[in-house]
Amino acid sequence: MAKKNNGKVVNGSIFFTDKEEPESFSISNQFAEHLEFTLVKDRITVTKDDAYYALSLAVRDRMVRRWLRTQREYHIKDPKRVYYLSLEYLMGRLLGNALINLDYYEECRELLKKDGYNLEEIKEYEHDMGLGNGGLGRLAACYLDSMATLQLPAFGYGIRYEYGIFAQEIENGYQVEYADYWLKNGNPWDILRRSLQYRVKFYGRVEKKVYPDGTYYFDWVDTDDVLAVAYDVPVPGYKVKNVNNLRLWQAKAVSDFEFSEFNRGDYVEAVAKKNDSETISKVLYPNDTYVEGKFLRLKQQYFFVSATLQDIIRKFKINHDNWEDFPEKVCIQLNDTHPVVAIPELMRILIDQERLGWEKAWYITTRTFAYTNHTVVPEALEEWNEKIFGELLPRHLQIVYEINRRFLEDVKKNYSADEAVLEKLSIISSGPEKRVRMANLAIVGTFAVNGVAELHTHILKTRIFPDFNKIYPKKFLCVTNGITPRRWIRAANPELSKLITSKIGEEWVRDLSQLKQIENFVDDAAFRKKWREVKMHNRRLLIDYIKNENNIDVNPDSIFDVQVKRFHEYKRQLLNVLHVITLYNRIKDNPKIKMVPRTVIFGGKAAPAYYAAKMVIKLINSVADVVNNDPDVGDKLKVVFLKNYSVTLAEKIIPASDLSEQISVAGLEASGTGNMKFAANGALTIGTMDGANIEIREEVGEENIFIFGLLAEEVVELKAKGYNPRKYYESNPSLKRVIDMIASNYFNPKEPGIFNDMINGLMNVDYYCVFADYQSYIDTQDKVAQEFLNQEEWTKKSIYNVARIGKFSSDRAVSEYAKKIWNVKPVKLNNGNSNHD
């Protein structure tokens, strides 16, 4: 039952008003004030970076009242809220996005111009907020944008890593990693909540204690504690008053640390130890799809979850005193298994602290959490060594065992007593080294499990978790991923946005399905010409960037053929390289050959310890060296590796692209979201029937996409009957020639043998079926080149791609979550300046 609302607003004070800034508070005034009073600079000493910082503070100031008002409104109306828990947020830059969402971009640009500043230039001084690895982290950022835009009472929670995803340099063709200290010049966007700190416990032991009434309970004692302090980042919705909150935790030593050592006089030692606890939020783990099982990583996960649950429960208790209301008021979405320790943590709080019995606690827990799976790659499934888990979280291990015991009891009674089935379902793996399987825990402890595309959900249900699906047939759902049109079209591609808006108005930015209307202009030759001019404009910007970065001259009329994403064997950048070498060989055989010019662009980071992926980067750079410097090749073919791929770089590359490479081996790319960004910017896709490619094809029409390769089932069949890559090599002269060239050090005469492991892997195992898909890929690429020749037809296909991409808006995805899983409804803030309601 709801308590009487105690969320009274401070009234009558000039300091607390709901009024939006009066006109005299112009952005130029606020900007000037911050330059002078916050940064202490004048006209002479001001730098462009100062200008960026002061402008961001001015823009943040403009959001503050909406931000406060939104939070207050959520507090007063007390709707059901959703909490998005993610260890990663790949936010990119925030200034341009904030200006667009506040509908303030043009005005701000003009005002700055009067003061002699160029907004476009100033924006470049913002350092990316790169607190994520790839798809999963960027998805979280897109969903924040949509949750705010849809006015949902939603809260993001994460970690404020001091070091984001590493900066990638290329040295002698090899990837080299540098630390990304993104906070070095300060961060104008997040604010420290000085009074919001929680204590997080680690290690210690569990004591069984007896209450006076004779019942017993468990006490987690002798722990090593760390503080979590809150930093808040505003998340403005697009053209709405709602400004949601992203709360990031930073680790801080508790102040009463190590008294024993302190008393012994080892003061310096004790202060130095302080650093230990603060390492928890120091650095983002740079692996995606590979779990290392490191102690520090588990610490991060629990640190994050413990602080977040304390915060959620504190907020719940302001208005409620009945725990049964919890699942009616709170939904917690777990972004992959990384925050799944939240399940035993909530159980611990309910049982040990709130003194609810097991059944009641379990009832509440399993109605509160939902889990999204983002990968079926086996190396990415998180399992924690039981000893590590029990040492750090002794009480949680007990609880996990008890969850498992009760679950397996249930299974035996109602489903199957077959030992093999039970072993697969068990949350604890058997064998000499027992492990806690986080995905199994997630499925048992939540009310909804979702995949991120149709095929991915199907594979989860039938291949990865078939028994779970039989036990809980209604638990598995699909919510196909989406991307935010604000950042990925409106901000990244202003020229295309203007062209679209000139024809159909601006509503599409909020409702992407409206893009459908531009189909009406497909047969308008003048429109198509403008469409090509936009692409050429974007291409020229990228050409300048490439010239600056790589000193390569790119032919503006070539196909911009682009693969940008994390490097992983399953994503098969290698297959793309084999195509490049195939084209190179055609040119070498006949230097006068007439062929459609191509610029093949790569970008992406490999996990620092992922040797095979790093060697693919080296191969690309080696091939680029040979191809780009061969006079026979001229401007028929160029290979470009753009270093340090990031959200910001994606925003430059994607709008300039013609061809989007989405060529994972079928069955392994859960969804892909780059595929959506490219299509939304008018690139055509060459791709396998994998992830969301399948749904993109369904939407844009099969004549507007280039599909090739084995289907997911065919990959399984091929492997079942014994896949022999050597057979493909022997029987395909073009493939054989390409492989022989790599093997004979054609591209790396100064470093012979470096690709031996790669070639051996391909010839003997080829786990990702590169050879099996080679010919189909080459043939399809030839078709691409043929079709590119007919620019009018290509342009039509490009328009159809954009017009039919509406489904892949993150607004659609987030509303599906809100309806199918969260049961959360919008809280509309009125447009008036004054009070709520």
Which residues are known catalytic residues?
374, 565-566, 571, 673, 677
Strand ranges across the sheet with 191-202: 191-202, 224-236, 243-253, 154-159, 81-85, 330-335, 369-372, 448-451, 476-478
Considering the complex, what minimum distance in angstroms separates the CB of residue 288 from ligand 26W? Answer: 4
Judged by CB under 6 A, the residue of 101, 149, 375, 457 near ligand 26W is: 375
Task: Give me 670's structure tokens.
Answer: 């859960």
Determine if 92 is a binding residue for ligand 26W (CB under 6 A): no
**Quick check: 718 and 712 in contact, CB under 8 A?**
no
Identify the three-state secondary structure at position 427.
coil
Considering the complex, what minimum distance in angstroms separates the CB of residue 340 from ligand 26W? Answer: 11
The 3-state secondary structure of 251-312 reads EEECCCCCHHHHHCCCHHHHHHHHHHHHHHHCECCCCCCCCCCCHHHHHHHHHHHHHHHHHH
Judged by CB under 6 A, the residue of 148, 283, 291, 370 near ligand 26W is: 291
Q: How many residues bind ligand 26W (CB under 6 A)?
A: 22
Considering the complex, what minimum distance in angstroms separates the CB of residue 373 from ligand 26W? Answer: 8
Considering the complex, what minimum distance in angstroms separates the CB of residue 221 from ligand 26W? Answer: 31
Stretch near ligand 26W under the rule CB under 6 A, chosen from 133-141, 305-313, 348-356, 362-370: 133-141
Stretch near ligand 26W under the rule CB under 6 A, chosen from 114-122, 142-150, 372-380, 759-767: 372-380
Max Cα separation, the chain? 94
The pair phi, psi for residue 619, each rounded to 5°, is -65, -45
Residue with Cβ nearer ligand 26W (229 or 459) = 459
Q: How many beta carbons lie within 10 A of that of residue 572, not counting itself?
A: 25
Which residues in the 674-703 window bind ligand 26W by CB under 6 A?
A: 691
Considering the complex, what minimum distance in angstroms separates the CB of residue 376 from ligand 26W? Answer: 9
In DSSP terms, which residues pair with 658 in a beta bridge?
none
Determine if 661 is a binding residue for ligand 26W (CB under 6 A): no
Considering the complex, what minimum distance in angstroms separates the CB of residue 136 from ligand 26W? Answer: 3
Give the relative orientation of helices 573-589 and 611-628 as an angle to the nearest 10 degrees.
20
Stretch near ligand 26W under the rule CB under 6 A, chosen from 74-82, 162-170, 281-289, 628-636: 281-289
Determine if 601 is a binding residue for ligand 26W (CB under 6 A): no
Which residues in the 448-477 window bind ligand 26W by CB under 6 A?
A: 452
Determine if 563 is a binding residue for ligand 26W (CB under 6 A): no
Considering the complex, what minimum distance in angstroms separates the CB of residue 810 from ligand 26W? Answer: 11
Tell me the per-residue interface mask from 380 to 419 with ligand 26W, x by CB under 6 A, - otherwise. x-x-------------------------------------
Stretch near ligand 26W under the rule CB under 6 A, chosen from 178-186, 286-294, 359-367, 705-713: 286-294
In DSSP terms, which residues pair with 221 in a beta bridge?
205
Stretch near ligand 26W under the rule CB under 6 A, chosen from 127-135, 326-334, 398-406, 519-527: 127-135
Q: Burial code of 797-834, b = ≥16 C-beta within 10 A, e = fewer? A: bbbbbbbbbbbbbbbbbbbbbbeebbebebbebeeeee
d(CA 86, CA 136): 9
**Quick check: 145 and 487 in contact, CB under 8 A?**
yes
Residue with Cβ nearer ligand 26W (312 or 607) = 607
Judged by CB under 6 A, the residue of 50, 180, 669, 699 near ligand 26W is: 669
Which residues in the 304-363 window bind ligand 26W by CB under 6 A?
A: 336
Scan for tokens 């069984």, then name that residue: 208
Determine if 480 is a binding residue for ligand 26W (CB under 6 A): no
* Helix residue ranges, H only, 320-393: 326-329, 342-348, 358-366, 386-392
Determine if 128 is a binding residue for ligand 26W (CB under 6 A): no
Considering the complex, what minimum distance in angstroms separates the CB of residue 813 from ligand 26W? Answer: 10
**N-terminal to C-terminal alpha carbon distance within the chain:** 23
**Quick check: 303 and 251 in contact, CB under 8 A?**
yes
The 3-state secondary structure of 200-250 reads EEECCEEEEEECCCCCEEEEEECCEEEEEEEEEEEEECCCCCCEEEEEEEE
Stretch near ligand 26W under the rule CB under 6 A, chosen from 30-38, 343-351, 609-617, 663-671: 663-671
Judged by CB under 6 A, the residue of 86, 97, 101, 133 near ligand 26W is: 133
Identify the three-state secondary structure at position 175.
strand
d(CA 775, CA 772): 8
Stretch near ligand 26W under the rule CB under 6 A, chosen from 60-68, 112-120, 504-512, 667-675: 667-675
What is the chain's length? 837
Determine if 672 is a binding residue for ligand 26W (CB under 6 A): yes
Q: Parallel, antiparallel, or unpaired: how do β-strands 659-662 and 559-564 relate?
A: parallel
Tell me the per-residue interface mask from 182 to 201 with ligand 26W, x by CB under 6 A, - otherwise. --------------------
At position 685, the amino acid (one-letter code) is T
- 665 secondary structure, DSSP code: P
Residue with Cβ nearer ligand 26W (168 or 335) = 335
Considering the complex, what minimum distance in angstroms separates the CB of residue 694 from ligand 26W? Answer: 13
Residue with Cβ nearer ligand 26W (599 or 675) = 675
Residue with smallest beta-carbon separation from ligand 26W: 135
Determine if 139 is a binding residue for ligand 26W (CB under 6 A): yes
Residues near 237 by Cβ (< 8 Å), separated by ≥ 6?
Answer: 101, 145, 148, 149, 150, 151, 243, 244
* Alpha-carbon torsion, ordered 304, 305, 308, 313, to 10 deg: -160
Residues that bind ligand 26W (CB under 6 A): 133-136, 139, 287-289, 291, 336, 374-375, 380, 382, 452, 481, 669-673, 691
